């Protein structure tokens, strides 16, 4: 039985429905807006495009159509898994159940395939870094949002976490005393303390185009050393040994990506041991940063000493010397900060990545009227000046709501407007939209997605060549499922960064009738404002004949408490909704209802819509993959 809401003035009183949630009634007819029609069409288009992609590149046994043998060294399965990263996310947003099912099937297929190749052991990459682990496992995390009670993937997630919290004797990656991860390459076989030439084949061919990791390795003077293994002067061997001696052992900031793997197990189980591990590990890097005069060091030895093998706070694997420099420090710190805040409710964790953005910004200079920052550091000091990225600032602002972060967003948007006459970066454009500006963003974004999918489908339909010749990132190229704009628009989230992020959103939706995740059929949603204590959402039921029950949850995992909701409803002036011979006069009124729960339901009448204003108490609840009616 559906709940009925009774109205008295501007106060609303509601019965709970059969899934135990307070329910509001939105029965005000709305003209379908263009964004809503485009959004629903995009959801259906992705449903079909994903299946066509799967059927083209995946064999009947759920393995990828590819090589019979793959000599990949440490280079492993990340790109294969990553190609399907949008499947379960799309289901969680309201897409087809079939895509999530296919994602689980191909996960098993890729795991079997790369186990046969030799890179995967016990279901997890044997030894790889957390840039690449992260790229692969972003496909795993969204599965919990779709099927929180899937025992197979629940146990798999627990087993993976055990490899990093000290519970798996075959994978002693964790030092429980120093609270560090013991090597830059790690996985199901534990920390890899020494590297060989074999580990770097065939990756070495690509690395010719990157700067040398060190400039003082005897006998190594150019990047061609990566492919020069002449027996009389094996520069490749010298290069790998020089790297191994300084980079292999000990911890590096890129390992902070492992915090998402631990949070994934916690969201299934709620076990507080995972919370303590995350607090301990990010606490280690907070302490090391403080000890190093406010700069996160990029390497720490097995004794816990900064620069134990490099002699400096810089020079570590994926650290300050590497091509992306400081951003390879900031991105995993952002991942860890967001995870730590999700698990503890403590906002202070944002200070670590924010501080490293400031380190680079404070070394910046004005060049051609634009602020540029150095992202790399070695014995020569700060160098490699580039345009400042808005990505860290937007991530910090939309979750932590610090106005200082917003000022930097405005500053960077101003540079783009001055240069191009408009905001060109999609993240910046979205950020300004949810602050009440840039009203064209939704339709521009959705239109761009249709063009993107069209190009990908054209590629898929004209596929040719021998799979034995394909490289290991082959399937990322034609992947037609781009979820960036759907998560921006529907749930108010930054896109999931491929380096190992989880989804962090303002809200999440469920179909109250079928009790499945995502928007119900025919329902469209648009987050139009994000503020510290509230968000505003447009919702509409495009079906003119049937009602829909939409469940709105605070945050991706129920972490935000919804204190109250303001919405539009109809007040019947004649107080007779069931007249037969005449149509009663009606008017829309603004109503506010107290919720004080992590979720509520909306009965959306045929063709009806409303603007919802949700008043939030952020990070007040314990997060979980469980659906709101099972909490």
Burial class (CB in 10 A: 0-12, 13-18, 19+), 628: buried
Q: Give the residue-averaged pLDDT of 473-481.
A: 97
pLDDT band at 7 (very low <50, low <70, confident <90, very high): very low
The tens digit of pLDDT for each residue in 9-38 reads 333 445 556 789 999 999 999 999 999 999
The whole-number average pLDDT for the span 317-332 is 97
In sequence order, the 6+-apart residues with CB closer than 8 A to the CB of 30 are 540, 607, 608, 609, 610
| Contact (Cβ atoms closer than 8 angstroms) between residue 257 and residue 496 | no
CB proximity list for 477: less than 8 A, separation 6 or greater: 459
**CATH for the 5-30+507-574+584-630 domain, from 1.10.10, 1.20.1630, 2.60.40, 1.10.150:** 2.60.40
Burial of 372 (0-12, 13-18, 19+ CB in 10 A): middle
In DSSP terms, 604 is beta-bridged to 26, 548
Give the list of residues 6+ apart from residue 363 with CB closer than 8 angstroms, or none. 373, 374, 382
> How does the average pLDDT of the chain come out, rounded?
94
Q: Give tens-digit pLDDT for 139-188.
A: 999 999 999 999 999 999 999 999 999 999 999 999 999 999 999 999 99
- Predicted confidence at residue 571, as pLDDT, reads 52
Parallel, antiparallel or unpaired: strands 370-378 and 381-387:
antiparallel
Dmax over CA atoms of the chain, in Å, equals 100
- Cα distances from 129 to residues 7, 76, 181, 257, 499, in angstroms, run 58, 10, 11, 10, 11
Read off the pLDDT of each residue in 351-358 and give the average, rounded to a whole number. 99
| pLDDT at residue 69 tops 50 | yes
Residues in Cβ contact with 351 at an 8 Å cutoff, skipping those fewer than 6 apart: none
Per residue in 548-583, pLDDT (tens digit) is 999 999 999 999 999 999 998 775 433 333 333 434
φ, ψ dihedrals at 160, nearest 5°: -65, -45
Query: What pLDDT score does 6 carry?
Result: 32
pLDDT of residue 502: 98
User: Contact 393/438 with Cβ under 8 angstroms?
Assistant: no
- What is the pLDDT, as a whole number, of residue 580? 37
Q: Residues near 128 by Cβ (< 8 Å), separated by ≥ 6?
A: 74, 75, 76, 78, 119, 185, 186, 187
Mean pLDDT of 339-348: 99
DSSP string spanning 122-188? TTEESSB-HHHHHHHHTTTTTHHHH-TT-HHHHHHHHHHHHHHHT--TT---EETTTTEESBSSBST
- pLDDT for 8 equals 32
Question: How far, in Å, are 26, 243, 438, 565 from residue 529 at the CA level?
Answer: 20, 48, 12, 14
Q: What is the pLDDT of residues 98-138, one digit of tens each?
A: 999 999 999 999 999 999 999 999 999 999 999 999 999 99
Q: Indicate the pairing of strand 507-511 with strand 229-230.
A: unpaired
| pTM listed for this prediction | 0.94
The pLDDT assigned to 549 comes to 98
Per domain, the residue ranges of the chain are 5-30+507-574+584-630, 197-247
Q: Is the pLDDT of residue 527 over 50?
A: yes
pLDDT tier for residue 74 given thresholds of 50, 70 and 90: confident
**pLDDT score of 156:** 98
The predicted pLDDT at position 586 comes to 54
CA distances from 408 to 234, 376, 414, 499 (A): 49, 21, 10, 23
User: Closest by alpha carbon to 612, among 540, 533, 532?
Assistant: 540
Q: Which tokens is 630 given?
A: 């099972």
Q: How far is the C-alpha of 256 from the C-alpha of 265, rounded, in Å?
A: 16
The Cα-based distances of 184 to 180, 257, 463 in angstroms read: 11, 12, 37
pLDDT score at 165: 99
pLDDT for the residue numbered 17: 66
CA distance 258 to 263: 9
pLDDT at 587 > cutoff 70: no
Beta bridge partners of 373: 386
Q: What is the pLDDT of residues 489-523, one digit of tens each?
A: 999 999 999 889 999 999 999 999 999 999 999 99
Distance CA 95, CA 236 (A): 48
Which residue do the tokens 């730590």 mark?
340
> Which alpha helices (DSSP H) does 462-517 contain, by range?
484-486
- In DSSP notation, 247-295 reads IIBSB-GGGGGHHHHHHHHHHHH--HHHHHHHHHHHHHHHHHHHHTTTS
Say which range, 68-82, 257-271, 278-292, 396-410, has the weakest mean pLDDT.
68-82
What average pLDDT does the segment 286-312 reach? 99
- Which pLDDT score, from 0 to 100, does residue 425 have? 97
Give yes or no for residue 465 having a pLDDT over 90. no
pLDDT at 12: 43
Q: Is the pLDDT of residue 321 over 70?
A: yes
Q: What is the pLDDT of residues 606-628, one digit of tens each?
A: 999 999 999 999 999 999 999 99
């Amino acid at each position: 039985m559906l709940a009925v809401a009774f109205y008295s003035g501007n106060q609303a009183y509601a019965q709970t429905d059969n899934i135990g949630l307070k329910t509001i009634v939105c029965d005000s007819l709305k003209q379908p807006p263009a964004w809503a029609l485009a959004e629903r069409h995009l959801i259906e288009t992705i449903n079909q495009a994903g299946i066509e992609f799967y059927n083209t590149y995946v064999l009947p046994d759920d393995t990828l159509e590819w090589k019979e043998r793959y000599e990949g060294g440490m280079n492993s399965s990340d790109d294969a898994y990553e190609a399907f990263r949008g499947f379960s996310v799309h289901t969680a947003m309201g897409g087809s159940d079939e895509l999530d099912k296919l994602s689980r099937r191909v996960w098993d297929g890729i795991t079997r395939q790369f186990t046969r190749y030799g890179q995967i052991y016990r279901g997890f990459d044997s030894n790889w870094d957390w840039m690449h682990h992260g790229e692969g496992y972003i496909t795993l995390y969204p599965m919990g949002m779709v099927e929180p009670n899937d025992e197979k993937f629940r146990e798999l997630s627990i087993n993976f976490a055990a490899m990093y919290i000290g519970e798996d004797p075959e994978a002693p990656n964790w030092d429980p005393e120093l609270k560090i991860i013991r090597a830059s390459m790690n996985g199901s076989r534990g920390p890899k303390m020494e590297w060989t030439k074999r580990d770097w084949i065939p990756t070495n061919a690509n690395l010719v185009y990157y700067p040398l990791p060190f400039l003082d390795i005897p006998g190594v003077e150019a990047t061609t050393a990566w492919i020069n293994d002449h027996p009389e002067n094996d520069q490749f061997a010298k290069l790998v040994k020089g790297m191994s001696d300084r980079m292999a052992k000990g911890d590096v900031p890129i390992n902070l990506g492992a915090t998402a793997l631990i949070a994934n197990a916690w969201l299934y189980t709620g076990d507080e041991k995972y919370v303590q591990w995350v607090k301990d590990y990010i606490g280690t890097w907070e302490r090391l940063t403080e000890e190093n005069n406010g700069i996160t060091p990029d390497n720490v030895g097995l004794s816990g000493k900064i620069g134990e093998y490099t002699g400096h706070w810089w020079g570590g694997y994926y650290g300050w010397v590497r091509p992306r420099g400081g951003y390879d420090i900031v991105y995993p710190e952002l991942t860890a900060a967001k995870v730590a805040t999700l698990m503890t409710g403590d906002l202070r964790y944002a200070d670590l990545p924010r501080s490293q953005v400031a380190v680079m910004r404070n070394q910046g200079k004005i060049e051609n009227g634009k602020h540029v920052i150095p992202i790399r550091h070695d014995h020569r000091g700060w160098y490699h000046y580039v345009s400042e990225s808005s990505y860290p600032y937007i991530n910090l602002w939309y979750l932590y709501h610090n106005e200082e972060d917003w000022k930097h967003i405005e500053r960077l948007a101003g540079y783009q407007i001055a240069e191009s006459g408009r905001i060109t970066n999609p993240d910046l454009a979205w950020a300004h939209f949810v602050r009440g500006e840039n009203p064209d963003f939704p339709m521009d974004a959705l239109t761009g997605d249709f063009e993107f999918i069209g190009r990908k489908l054209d590629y898929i339909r004209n596929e040719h060549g021998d799979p034995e010749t394909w490289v290991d990132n082959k399937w990322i190229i034609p992947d037609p499922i781009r979820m960036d704009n759907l998560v921006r628009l529907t749930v108010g989230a930054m896109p999931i960064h491929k380096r190992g992020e989880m989804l962090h959103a303002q809200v999440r939706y469920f179909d109250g009738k079928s009790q499945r995740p995502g928007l119900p059929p025919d329902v469209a949603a648009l987050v139009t404002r994000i503020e510290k204590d509230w968000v505003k959402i447009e919702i509409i039921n495009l079906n003119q004949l049937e009602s829909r029950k939409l469940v709105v949850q605070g945050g991706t995992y129920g972490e935000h408490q919804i204190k109250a909701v303001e919405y539009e409803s109809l007040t019947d002036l004649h107080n007779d909704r069931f007249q037969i011979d005449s149509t009663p006069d009606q008017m829309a009124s603004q109503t506010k209802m107290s919720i004080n729960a992590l979720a509520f339901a909306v009965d959306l009448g045929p063709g009806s819509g409303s603007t919802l204003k949700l008043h939030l108490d952020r990070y007040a609840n314990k997060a979980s993959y469980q659906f709101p009616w099972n909490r």
